[in-house]
Amino acid sequence: MMGSGVFTGIFKEEDIHAKTDRDGVAFADALKRIGYAGAAPCGGRKVGAFFECHIEQGPILEAEGKTIGVVTGGQAQRWYEVNLVGQESHAGTTPMERRRDALLGAARIVDMVNHIGITHLPSARATCGVIEAKPQSRNTVPGRVFLTVEFRHPDETELATMDKTFRAQAARIAGEIGLELDIQEIWHFPATPFSADCIAAVRDAAKARGYSHRDIISGAGHDALYMARVAPTAMIFVPCADGISHNEIEAAAPDDLAAGCQILLDAMLRRANAPV
Amino acid sequence: MMGSGVFTGIFKEEDIHAKTDRDGVAFADALKRIGYAGAAPCGGRKVGAFFECHIEQGPILEAEGKTIGVVTGGQAQRWYEVNLVGQESHAGTTPMERRRDALLGAARIVDMVNHIGITHLPSARATCGVIEAKPQSRNTVPGRVFLTVEFRHPDETELATMDKTFRAQAARIAGEIGLELDIQEIWHFPATPFSADCIAAVRDAAKARGYSHRDIISGAGHDALYMARVAPTAMIFVPCADGISHNEIEAAAPDDLAAGCQILLDAMLRRANAPV
């Protein structure tokens, strides 16, 4: 999404050009090497509408036997880093009631975060992805834990409620175990509702072609989420096997991909031919 | 405990001599270098009784204002390695109800292990010390977790109950989330009750000197736990600050250390002078 970020003015071109990969190669140099560093300016011109077709990267369409996902927008996201500090102590000599076990606190936060996701179904996502405990010794009560938390929801109000519950419950858990708690919100990506006209163009095209379809929210990031800030936008999803993506076993059926391309074309034509 | 392990026939001398540190230096060579590789055979001779004095390495004596811990034995220990396998998946696109989150399973096991410790108070210890989640990505539902678990209790029957509850509850948790569960018991150290006569010698000596005292179980490992297999054995604990040990801030008051040494001498004399 670096390209769409520059195109839409969210990132500066020079900042993105200067980014390096793990081998230290700058993005600008890699673009030149593969012949992609064109002369045209990135962005700065008007776009009538933007449509993007993508595999769902999730299991919903496949599970429901639907061919086309009519994407109505992108979720809002809040990402956090949580640090818990207790007291490192000997696992054999420290009585249960005298422990300040940072991993126990983290464990209860992981369960609580999952519970917040479940109580905001069907659209909410709640995930703890990274955990690091210290000192990582079998017979030592962990004194410190670092944990990442993220929440996603298409509705900012719901997401704010999840945030509030999370902070209150984490404070309660830390207090019960005698842990110091620090929560930093490191990223807040706003909810991105797509254009009603563009969404209708996708839905009507799917109907006209007789494809089974359903409205769906994009859980992942896409260029369309940036483009939606500068142009009427919508997306088309097609099913993928087991919802797996960014992985060698990612797979989508040729018929589904063909259907997605057809609806992409149809929706663009509908939009282009619509009375202004 | 390598020396006492060889002395009591638990380890082979050549195996211990061959052990290397992180720099690759063999134990036998290090012994020679510091002049500790004596000519006398290690073990193989009769020991009338064994007494050992040590800081408690826990917070009980300090919290209760007691000078002498009359150690009645060592806890039994069971150590486990737990592997949980779920399904790595995208945190944004995978609905809560379709996840197989290995970290969620590990979190519930950590809380459950702690609960087992609490329901077997005051003597039980239950600890998860090491946790490793994969792939350690903020926006990926963890697919795999490695977790260490250990239980300690002075009573083997109680420890067996803890083991049984742990296995049943872990299986229930894994089943609820759809995780594969593997539990390996990697170590089982038996409970070590000390000699009633030697314990009485310590307790009577503390009484005679007018030191405040209480019976206590050793949560940590000590040479005395191996020596107890070949000779009547007991231990004396003295308080240490905040229960901290194996750490630069470990501290014990000179008066307490002197009291411990006095009771060590008194108990040995009582034992030596006791009618056989």
Exposure of B95 in the CB half-sphere (CA atoms within 13 A): 15
Band of pLDDT at residue A44, cut at 50, 70 and 90: confident
pLDDT of residue A229: 93
Largest CA distance in chain A: 78
A222-231: pLDDT as tens digits: 999 999 999 9
B8-21: pLDDT as tens digits: 999 999 999 999 98
Chain A residue numbers touching B245 (CB-CB < 8 A)? 90, 93
Long-range contact list for A37-42, CB < 8 A, 24+ apart? A42/A3, A42/A6, A42/A7, A42/A13
Q: Does A89 touch chain B (CB under 8 A)?
A: yes
Chain A residue numbers touching B110 (CB-CB < 8 A)? 103-104, 106-107
Structure tokens at A236: 């088309």
pLDDT of residue B220: 87
B59–A125 C-beta distance less than 8 A: no
pLDDT of residue A48: 94
pLDDT of residue A53: 98
**A206 within 8 A of A263, measured Cβ to Cβ:** yes
Q: Does A148 touch chain B (CB under 8 A)?
A: yes
**Parallel, antiparallel or unpaired: strands A125-127 and A192-193:** unpaired
Mean pLDDT over A180-208 rounds to: 96
pLDDT of residue B2: 92
Mean pLDDT over B256-264 rounds to: 98
Structure tokens at A155: 């509705």
A83 three-class SS: strand
Band of pLDDT at residue B255, cut at 50, 70 and 90: very high
A20-35: pLDDT as tens digits: 988 899 999 999 999 9
**A99 within 8 A of B72, measured Cβ to Cβ:** no
Candidates B270, B263, B274; CA nearest to B235 is B263
pLDDT of residue A116: 98
Q: What 3 state SS string does chain B have?
A: CHHHHHHCCCCCHHHHHHCECCCCCEHHHHHHHCCCCCCCCCCCCCCCCEEEEEECCCCHHHHHCCCEEEEEEECEEEEEEEEEECECEECCCCCHHHCECHHHHHHHHHHHHHHHHHCCCCCCEEECCCEEEECCCCCEECCEEEEEEEEEECCHHHHHHHHHHHHHHHHHHHHHHCCEEEEEEEEEECCEECCHHHHHHHHHHHHHHCCCEEEEEECCCCHHHHHCCCCCEEEEEECCHHHCCCCCCCCCCHHHHHHHHHHHHHHHHHHHHCCC
Name the CA radius of gyration of chain B, rounded.
23
Q: What are phi and psi of A35, to 5 degrees?
A: 80, 25
Q: Which member of A121, A126, A220 has the closest CB to residue B90?
A: A220
Band of pLDDT at residue B274, cut at 50, 70 and 90: confident
B118-158: pLDDT as tens digits: 999 888 999 999 999 999 999 999 999 999 999 999 999 99
Structure tokens at B85: 């396998």
Q: In this model, does residue A13 exceed pLDDT 80?
A: yes
Structure tokens at B182: 């593997």
Mean pLDDT over A38-45 rounds to: 89
pLDDT of residue B37: 92
**Parallel, antiparallel or unpaired: strands A76-85 and B125-127:** unpaired
Q: In this model, does residue B29 exceed pLDDT 90?
A: yes
Q: In this model, does residue A275 exceed pLDDT 90?
A: no
pLDDT of residue A131: 97
pLDDT of residue A244: 85
Q: Which of A271-275, B24-28, B99-103 has the lowest mean pLDDT?
A: A271-275
Q: Which member of B92, B103, B245 has the closest CB to residue A90?
A: B245
Mean pLDDT computed over every residue of chain B? 95
Name the CA radius of gyration of chain A, rounded.
23
A73-120: pLDDT as tens digits: 999 999 999 999 999 999 998 999 999 999 999 999 999 999 999 999
Mean pLDDT over B224-246 rounds to: 94
A98 secondary structure, DSSP code = G
For residue B33, give every residue at least 6 positions away whose Cβ sits within 8 Å of its Cβ, in sequence order, or none. Answer: none
Mean pLDDT computed over every residue of chain A? 95
B62-117: pLDDT as tens digits: 999 999 999 999 999 999 999 999 999 999 989 999 999 999 999 999 999 999 99
A131–B131 C-beta distance less than 8 A: yes
Band of pLDDT at residue A249, cut at 50, 70 and 90: confident
Minimum Cα–Cα distance from A141: chain B residue: B129
Mean pLDDT over A60-82 rounds to: 96
Mean pLDDT over A51-63 rounds to: 95
**A100 within 8 A of A140, measured Cβ to Cβ:** no
Q: Compute the nearest-CA separation of A126 from chain B (Å).
A: 7
B118–A96 C-beta distance less than 8 A: yes
pTM for the full predicted model: 0.85
A194 three-class SS: coil
pLDDT of residue B248: 83
For residue B254, give every residue at least 6 positions away whose Cβ sits within 8 Å of its Cβ, in sequence order, or none. Answer: none
**B155 within 8 A of B102, measured Cβ to Cβ:** no
Exposure of A6 in the CB half-sphere (CA atoms within 13 A): 13
Structure tokens at B104: 């969620």
Looking at chain A, the whole-number percentage of residues with pLDDT higher than 90 is 86
Return d(Cα B150, Cα B25) in angstroms, integer: 30
Chain B, residues 101-120, CB within 8 A of chain A, namely: 101, 103-104, 106-108, 110-111, 114, 117-118
b/e A51-81 (16+ beta carbons within 10 angstroms → b):
bbbbbbbbbbbbeeebbbbbbbbbbbbbbbb
Return d(Cα B12, Cα A164) in angstroms, integer: 60
Return d(Cα B168, Cα B149) in angstroms, integer: 14
pLDDT of residue B221: 87
Q: Which residue has the higher pLDDT, A45 or B207?
A: B207
Q: In this model, does residue A135 exceed pLDDT 80?
A: yes
pLDDT of residue B246: 79
Chain A, residues 201-220, CB within 8 A of chain B, namely: 218-220
Candidates B191, B185, B253; CA nearest to B221 is B191
